Amino acid sequence: GQQVMQIPQYQHVQEGEDFTTYCNSSTTLSNIQWYKQRPGGHPVFLIQLVKSGEVKKQKRLTFQFGEAKKNSSLHITATQTTDVGTYFCAVGVWGAGSYQLTFGKGTKLSVIP
Amino acid sequence: KAGVTQTPRYLIKTRGQQVTLSCSPISGHRSVSWYQQTPGQGLQFLFEYFSETQRNKGNFPGRFSGRQFSNSRSEMNVSTLELGDSALYLCASSFGQGVEAFFGQGTRLTVV
């Protein structure tokens, strides 16, 4: 099945530092989604990228989709304690009449005040 | 509008028992997917239902089953529980394929 590698697994940053998580696939992706899960919470949708080379911004968050549509990144500028959580990428795979969202293992972000 | 509702929130069961978890999707959403989340394996896809039909199934043993009702509510059942089934079970609903999924708060299952 579709495999997606996400790195790093953990990241500890000082408040105010930047943070980046990467998602890589060996195959070309149709789209990629990003989710955030706060401690004790459930995954919450952040964004979906569809086009090659696409860049989208949400305040301090910047999402990129690679030109070859095989990788993606999420960059947070000047982290805050509210950014704490696990960030997941998820790729949609279409099969014979079926669709499955496959998640990366996630990057757990800790922000030290 | 109301979000995805999962019941119960917490459950403790004994090995060998069976359990049924419930998920009510967002009104109008016909696709419901189930995931198992554990610290070591992350979010793993269990199955997806659309209009009462299972369209896709993950790599889980037959002890894991599900169904969807005409009102799009879904249930998943795990029979002959094992200690390794302890996990957070998440349900997600969406309007269709390839669009954002809305997750419920999950059911935390502990098997003792």
List chain A residues with pLDDT less than 50: none
Instruction: Answer yes or no: do B90 and A43 touch at CB < 8 A.
Output: yes
Residue B33 near residue B47, CB atoms below 8 Å? yes
Q: Tell me if A1 and B59 make a contact (CB, 8 A cut-off).
A: yes
Buried b (16+ CB within 10 A) or exposed e, A77-108: eebeeebebbbbbbbbbeeeeebbbbbbbbbb
Chain A residue with minimal CA distance to B58? A100
Q: Report d(CA A113, CA B69) in Å as an integer.
A: 48
For the segment B48-65, what is each residue's pLDDT rounded down to a tens digit? 999 999 988 999 999 999
A6-32 residue pLDDT tens: 999 999 999 999 999 999 998 888 899
Contact with chain B for residue A106, Cβ under 8 A: yes
Location of structure tokens 């069961």: B13
User: Which of B26, B100, B102, B108 has the highest number of chain A CBs within 10 A, making it the mutation to test binding with A?
Assistant: B100
Give the number of A-B residue pairs with CB atoms closer than 8 Å: 58
Contact A106 B43 (CB under 8 A): yes
